[in-house]
Structures are given as C-alpha cells and as structure tokens.
Amino acid sequence: MTTPNEARPTSRSGNGIKLTLAWLAVGVPLLWGVVETLRKAMALFA
C-alpha cells in the first residue's frame, strides 16, 4: 500500500537535492572523524 503522498513521482532535481543533503549529513561527520583519526595516527610516523 502506498500513501498518495509517497506515491507521487519525485522530480529529478528534488531527488538530487535530497541525495546531496542525505549524503552530506552522514559524509561530513564521517570525514571529520577520519581526518581527526589520521592526525593522531601521524604520531606513529613521526
């Protein structure tokens, strides 16, 4: 069963904005975590 609201086709640009926001929401914190960890890991090579 699909609700009328959800069944409505999404435009290509609408999808693009959603995709960008969704990936930014998870990508930015993850990237920050990786950079912070790499900075600490540099001590191993110092």
Is 42 a residue that touches another protein (CB under 8 A)?
yes
Q: Counting every residue, how long is the chain?
A: 46
Is 17 a residue that touches another protein (CB under 8 A)?
no
Is 13 a residue that touches another protein (CB under 8 A)?
no
Question: Residues in contact with another protein, total (CB under 8 A)?
Answer: 31
Query: DSSP string covering the chain, please?
Result: ---HHHHSPPPHHHHHHHHHHHHHHHHHHHHHHHHHHHHHHHHHH-
Binding footprint of another protein on the chain (CB under 8 A): 1-3, 6-11, 15, 18-19, 22-23, 25-26, 29-30, 32-34, 36-38, 40-46
